[in-house]
Structure 1
Amino acid sequence: MSTSKEYLDPEVLARLSRLDLKARLVVEGFLSGLHASPFKGFSQEFADYRQYMPGDELKRVDWKVYGRSDRFYIKEYQEETNLRAYILLDKSGSMGYGKKLSKLEYAKYLGASLAYMLFKQKDNVGIATFDTQIREIIPPSARRTNFMMILRTIADATPGGETNVNDVLYQLAQKIRRRGLVIVLSDMLDNPADVLRSLKSFRYRKHEILAFQILDTDESDFPFGESAVFSDLENGSEMVVNPDLIRDRYRKQFEEFIKFYNQRLLESHIDHTLLYTNTPYDKALFAYLQKRTRLQ
């Protein structure tokens, strides 16, 4: 059980302050150049239908209803007071890989920035961390105390253990009952078909999903030379391999791996963004949020 002494530990406070400051700099720098929120409209709930009237936007016409009734009807929505967002952070062993910045550290900065943006908009934000199972979970809230608990959870996350993205995401989909925004931060190094099914389980429950797939360029380029010992960061097993003999085949399989996610997630209306840790996370976030804003 956490004590007040833990929260007052100078090292903990310094770590939280650095994370909070970086998140603030990224988000406030982005928002200063834009008036619209990139997450605007996620919290709309369907209320009722009404007949089309001159001046209504055609994009609001429900064409399925028109097909059944031969009449034009408009969907009406009511705004909820706050968006509910859930950040799902993968902290399995494979997320610890990286030359200068590990995939987990990259995900932590990205997650903290997104949490701060949502908090600044007075939205409810929560977090869950996982590897083979759900490790920590903080329900969404708009309170500052909750936001600081989220930052502490992010700061304390360390990589370790195997992963089971499929089962864990499916479990979380069962737990998250109220419709909201689900942000997944993971390398998604699991069976792609299984990961797809688990992400679609959120869609079945009407959630909006942002899947950030975070990788290191070593995983795409396979730049290793001569014989090398490769260690599995999740189960500790080792294998001696001559990279030159398998590089072309590896790269081809990796391309197929990414292609599967790009195509199948798009078909499932799941927002998929591939990020490499050599791209500054603030620039990656800027580009993504600007894209979202343009699409609204």
Structure 2
Amino acid sequence: MLDSPALLAHTNDLDLVIRHVLAGLGHGIHAGRERGAGVEFSEYRAYAPGDEWRRVDWKLLARADRYYVREAERDSHVATWLWLDATASMSEPSRQVPKVDKLRFAATVLGCIAAVAQRQGDAFGLVVCTDGRTEFTPASRGPRQLQRVLAQLSKARPQGALPDAAALKSSLHFARAPSLVFAASDCLEWPSPLSEALLRLRHMQHDVRLLAVRTQAEVDASFNPGSGYRDLEGGMPPSDANAAGLHMLTESGRAAYRAALEAHFAGVGAACRQHDIPYYEARVEQPLTAVLRGWLQLASPRARAR
């Protein structure tokens, strides 16, 4: 399958992956443009999968032998922000698909969202939390902005811990105007500075949507028994680790681990529902198109009204 995680494992061309995934998606982020009589013509752009055929300029096709779409719409004032957790725990790899980890999967999902925003003509920007700091790509429009965002997503490496709560709170200036915020994290630290920032944005009336990225091994506790694991971001209680900072997952502790993790993510989901934040859990072994469709459909007004 073109949209399987195996595609991520065999190419570093994020743009290539995204174009394959979006070719079969056909979903927009939101009704971000105003259509109707009296709206002035803006520009032409190349046809993209999912565009309506009635908007193709057939006379231009006859002259140029290429499909072009008439942009005759006013832009929405809503900006789309992509928020990537690039802390150390996002380095967790899949045990089933070689060379795929949580960070690369999350970055690709957000890259697809950026491509949808660019196709809709929306402004979009990027926030990356990594190694105790926050990195911004200011919101803008157009193909060049998409390449800037994809370049930053490709450069992201899983390092360190989240910035502290005060630093993240002071960085929320980017969302002064109405915004959609698509955040991707493994949500292993919750509550956290990231969760506090997302809840604050929601209380500021922004549309916040959260994707929790996990591996199948994390979900079903299929780690090798007797193996040692270290908390890469710190904060592991001393009772859970030996002197070397290792946690040992024994066969007898597997059920307790699974129950604790299920309870943790149930709490994350409950907090999101309480604050009207669409929350979607994904595994890195899932097809990208399925994850994108599920997340976007969950965030639609129809789904949220159920």
Coarse TM-score class (shorter-chain normalised): 0.7 to 0.9
Counting only pairs closer than 5 Å after superposition, residues 284-295 of structure 1 correspond to structure 2 as 284-292=291-299, 295=302
Question: By how many angstroms is 1:165 displaced?
Answer: 7.4
Q: Distance in 2 between matches of 1:147 and 1:184?
A: 17
Q: 1:76 — aligned with what?
A: none
Paired residue secondary structure (2:115): helix
Q: 3-state DSSP class of the match of 2:251?
A: helix
User: What do the CA deviations read for 1:229-264 (whole angstroms, capped 9, x no partner)?
Assistant: 112233596315242232122111111111111112
Decide whether the 8 Å contact of 2:183 with 2:208 is kept in 1: yes
Q: Does structure 2 retain, via aligned residues, the 8 Å contact 1:166–1:195?
A: yes
- The answer to whether 1:247 aligns with 2:254 is yes
Point out where structure 1 has 5 or more consecutive residues left out of the alignment.
1-13, 44-78
Q: Structure 1 residues 146 and 182, CA, compared in 2 at 3 Å: closer, same or farther?
A: same
1:86 is aligned to: 81
Aligned to 1:219: 218
Distance in 2 (alpha carbons) for counterparts of 1:150 and 1:109: 11
> How many residues align structurally?
242
Q: Tell me which amino acid in the other structure corresponds to 2:20.
A: L
For residues 143 and 239 of structure 1, do their structure 2 counterparts lie closer, same or farther at Cα, with a shift above 3 Å needed?
same
Change (3 A) 1:267 1:294: closer
| Partners of 1:86 and 1:140 within 8 A in 2 | yes
Q: Distance in 1 between matches of 2:135 and 2:258?
A: 35
SS of the residue corresponding to residue 232 of structure 2 reads coil
- Superposed CA deviations along residues 135-173 of structure 1, whole A, max 9, x for unmatched, are 421111113222211010011111111234755653433
Q: Matched residues in 1 for 2:134 and 2:193: separation?
A: 21
Q: Does residue 39 in structure 1 map to residue 30 in structure 2? A: yes
SS in 1 for 2:218: helix
Instruction: Quote the offset at 1:182 in angstroms.
Output: 0.7
SS state at 2:128 partner: strand
- 2:267 maps to which residue? 260
- Given the superposition, is the C-alpha separation of residues 148 and 242 from structure 1 closer, same or farther in structure 2, using an over 3 Å criterion? closer
Could you give the per-residue CA deviations for residues 15-71 of structure 1, whole angstroms, max 9, x where no partner exists? 4xx21122122223222xx6xx3411599xxxxxxxxxxxxxxxxxxxxxxxxxxxx
**1:154-169 map, 5 Å:** 154-164=153-163, 169=168
1:142/1:209 Cα in 2 relative to 1: closer, same or farther (>3 Å)? Answer: same
Change (3 A) 1:174 1:133: farther
How many Å separate the matches in 2 of 1:158 and 1:126? Answer: 18
Asked if the contact 2:211–2:281 (Cα under 8 Å) also holds between the matched residues in 1, the reply is yes
Identify the structure with the greater helix proportion. Answer: 1
> Could you say what secondary structure the match of 1:245 adopts?
coil
Report percent identity of matched pairs: 21
Aligned partners of 1:196 and 1:264 also within 8 Å: no
For 2:281, what is the secondary structure of its paired residue?
A: strand
Q: Note closer, same or farther for the CA distance 1:167–1:135 as it changes in structure 2 (3 Å cut).
A: same
Q: TM-score, normalised by structure 1?
A: 0.73
1:195 shift after superposition: 4.8
Is residue 232 of structure 1 aligned with residue 223 of structure 2? no
Shift of 1:191: 3.0
Q: Which runs of 5+ in 2 are unaligned?
A: 1-10, 35-73, 237-243
Runs of 4+ in 1 over 6 A off after TM superposition: none
3-state SS in 1 of match to 2:276: coil
Letter in 2 for 1:23: I
Q: For the Cα contact (< 8 Å) 2:162–2:193, is it kept in 1?
A: no
Structure-to-structure mapping, 1:143-182, within 5 angstroms: 143-164=142-163, 169-182=168-181
Structure 2 Cα separation of the partners of residues 266 and 154 of structure 1: 28
CA distance in 1, matches of 2:29, 2:202: 20
Map of 1:19-30 to 2, 5 A cutoff? Answer: 19-30=14-25
Alignment match, 1:208: 207
Residues 93, 163 of structure 1: 8 Å contact kept: no
Helix, strand or coil at the partner of 2:171: helix
Alignment partners' CA distance in 1, 2:230 and 2:20:
37
CA distance in 2, matches of 1:196, 1:176: 16
Q: 1:210 deviation in Å?
A: 0.9
Contact 2:226–2:250 (Cα < 8 Å) also in 1: yes
Q: 2:123 — aligned with what?
A: 124
Counterpart amino acid of residue 279 in structure 2:
H
